[in-house]
C-alpha cells in the first residue's frame, strides 16, 4: 500500500472538513478522488502531505507515518497543486531546475531530468519564457513539470485541469497516463467525472469530507440500482406514452424533452431493458427515430448515493 489514511478528522472551527476520512492507494494505480467543490478533496491531500494540521487519524505513506520532516518519504513524492506554484521572476527552465534541485543534488543528473521534464510537457520552445508570458494551459504544464521533474514514485495532482483549454487538458491527461506507464503511482483529484472515469483505475467519491463510495468505475456503477439511460426520439408524442413507459417494471424514471422530441428513461440495473422499452413502443405503434443507450455514469452513482447531482456543485 502506498498511501493509507485512517479515520482522518479535520475541523475548521465548527466546520468539519474531513469526517473520518479513509483512503487506500495501491502501488501502480491511477487513483481518482472525485467530489464536488468543497467536498474536502484538497484538504485531504494537504493533510496527507503534512501541510495541514489535523485533529485525528493516521496517515501512512510507504508504510511509514507521514510527518513534515519525513524527508525520505517526501523525496519520492511529486505534487502538482490546484494553483500554479511557480516563481514569476524565473524562466520556465529555471523554475523547473529550482524545484528539481530540491530533490536532485547532482548537477548533471538534474540537467538531464529538467530537459526530460521540458520535453514531457512540450515546453521546449518556451524554456526562456517568464511565466507571465505563458497562456493558462502552458502555465499548467509548467506547473506539472515542476512537480514531476525529479521522477517521483508517487505523484499527486490536485485538480490540474481547472481552467485549461481542451487541447492542453488532453495533453495533461495523456501525460498522466504516460507517467503511470513509466511506473509512477498517481493520485488524481477532480470534480470532472469524465476525466476521472477516463484515466483512473480506482476511484473514491467524496462528499462532505467523507468517502461515500470507492472501487473501480465498474464496481461503483455496480453499487447502484440504476441501469443504463435509454434515449428514444418520439416522432408523434402524446402524454400517454410517458405514463405507459413509466409503468414498465424495468424503468425507474422517464421524461420527455419537447425541444428535441427525445424521451429519456432511466432503467433499473438488469438485462434487456432497451428491448423491453422498444417492445412496448412497437406494441403501441409509436413511431420512433434515433435510439441511444448509455451505461450509468459516476454522476448517477453520486446522485443515487447522495440524492444530488455531482454536476450541480461544479
Partner 1 sequence: MFLHIYLYRLKCIIRDKQNVFWTLMFPLILATFFHLALSNISNMESFTEIKIGIIDNEELREHKEFTEIIESVPDLFNVTYVSRTNADKLLEDGTIEGYIHFDGGLKLFVRESGINETIIKSFLDDYMQTTSTINTILSQNPAAIQDGLPDSLFDRKDYLKAGSAGKSEPNTVMNYFYTLIAMTCLYGSFSGLKEVTALQGNLSYQGARMNMAPVHRAKIITASMSAAITFQLLVVSTVLVYLIWVLKIDFGNQTGYIALTSLISTVTGVTFGTFISSVNRKSEGVKVGILIGTTMTMSFLAGLMYDKMKYIVHTKAPVLSFLNPANLIADSFYALYYYDTYTRFFSNIALLCGYSVLFGALTYLAVRRQRYASI
Interacting residues toward partner 1 by CB under 8 A: 12, 46, 49-53, 68-69, 71-72, 74-75, 77, 79, 81, 83-87, 89-90, 94, 98-99, 101-103, 105, 146-147
Bridge partners of residue 186, in order along the sequence = 30, 155
Shortest Cβ 47–partner 1 spacing (Å)? 9
Let me know: does 303 contact 231? Beta carbons within 8 Å: no
CB distance 156 to 180 below 8 Å = no
- Nearest-approach distance from CB 96 to partner 1, in angstroms: 11
Task: Find the shortest distance in angstroms from Cβ 23 to partner 1.
Answer: 18
Cell numbers that stand for 292 in this block: 441511444
Are 185 and 136 spatial neighbours (Cβ–Cβ below 8 Å)?
no
Closest distance between partner 1 and the C-beta of residue 107, in Å?
9
In the complex, the smallest distance separating the C-beta of residue 69 from partner 1, rounded to whole angstroms, is 7
Nearer to partner 1, 68 or 249 (CB): 68
11: three-class secondary structure by DSSP: strand
Residue 87 vs 292, nearer CB to partner 1: 87
Of residues 86 and 211, the one with the C-beta less far from partner 1: 86
Per-residue exposure over 161-199, b if at least 16 CB sit within 10 Å of its own CB, e if not = beebeeebbebbbebbeebbeeebbbbbbbbbbebbbeb
DSSP secondary structure code for residue 1 in this structure: -
Indicate the residue among 53 and 271 with the shorter CB distance to partner 1: 53
Q: Return the closest-CA partner of residue 235 out of 290, 292, 284.
A: 290
Q: What are phi and psi of 65, to 5 degrees?
A: -60, 135
State which residue, 156 or 265, has the beta carbon closest to partner 1: 156
Angle between helices 136-148 and 107-120 (to 10 degrees): 140
> Residue length, the chain?
314
Question: Smallest distance, Å, CB 105 to partner 1?
Answer: 6
Which positions ≥6 away from 203 have C-beta within 8 Å? 31, 32, 33, 34, 196, 197, 214, 215, 216, 217, 220, 298
Q: Tell me if 86 sits within 8 A of 146, measured CB to CB.
A: yes
Could you tell me the smallest distance in angstroms from the CB atom of residue 11 to partner 1? Answer: 10
> CB-wise, 2 or 79, nearer to partner 1?
79
First-to-final CA distance of the chain = 31
Q: Which of 89/119 has CB closer to partner 1?
A: 89
Amino acid at each position: 500500500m502506498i498511501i493509507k489514511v485512517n479515520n482522518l478528522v479535520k475541523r475548521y472551527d465548527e466546520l468539519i472538513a474531513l469526517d473520518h476520512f479513509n483512503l487506500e492507494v495501491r502501488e501502480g494505480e491511477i487513483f481518482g478522488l472525485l467530489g464536488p467543490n468543497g467536498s474536502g478533496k484538497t484538504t485531504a491531500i494537504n493533510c496527507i502531505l503534512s501541510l495541514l494540521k489535523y485533529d485525528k487519524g493516521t496517515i501512512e505513506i510507504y508504510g511509514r507515518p507521514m510527518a513534515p520532516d519525513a524527508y525520505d518519504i517526501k523525496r519520492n513524492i511529486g505534487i502538482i497543486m490546484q494553483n500554479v506554484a511557480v516563481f514569476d521572476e524565473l524562466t520556465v527552465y529555471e523554475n523547473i531546475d529550482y524545484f528539481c534541485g530540491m530533490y536532485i543534488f547532482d548537477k548533471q543528473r538534474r540537467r538531464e531530468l529538467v530537459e526530460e521534464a521540458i520535453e514531457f510537457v512540450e515546453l521546449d520552445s518556451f524554456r526562456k519564457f517568464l511565466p507571465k508570458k505563458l497562456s493558462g494551459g502552458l502555465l499548467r504544464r509548467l506547473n506539472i513539470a515542476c512537480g514531476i521533474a525529479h521522477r517521483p514514485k508517487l505523484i499527486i495532482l490536485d485538480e490540474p485541469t481547472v481552467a485549461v483549454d481542451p487541447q492542453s487538458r488532453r495533453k495533461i491527461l495523456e501525460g498522466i497516463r504516460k507517467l503511470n506507464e513509466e511506473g509512477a503511482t498517481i493520485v488524481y483529484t477532480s470534480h470532472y467525472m469524465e476525466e476521472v472515469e477516463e484515466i483512473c483505475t480506482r476511484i473514491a467519491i467524496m462528499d462532505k469530507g467523507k468517502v461515500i463510495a470507492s472501487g473501480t468505475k465498474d464496481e461503483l456503477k455496480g453499487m447502484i440500482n440504476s441501469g443504463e439511460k435509454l434515449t428514444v426520439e418520439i416522432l408523434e408524442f402524446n402524454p400517454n406514452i410517458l405514463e405507459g413507459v413509466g409503468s414498465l417494471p424495468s424503468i425507474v424514471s422517464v421524461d420527455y424533452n419537447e425541444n428535441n422530441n427525445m424521451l429519456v428513461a432511466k432503467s433499473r440495473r438488469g438485462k434487456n431493458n432497451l428491448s423491453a422499452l422498444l417492445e412496448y413502443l412497437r406494441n403501441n405503434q409509436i413511431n420512433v427515430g434515433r435510439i441511444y443507450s448509455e451505461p450509468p455514469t459516476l454522476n448517477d452513482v453520486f446522485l443515487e448515493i447522495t440524492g444530488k447531482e455531482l454536476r450541480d456543485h461544479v
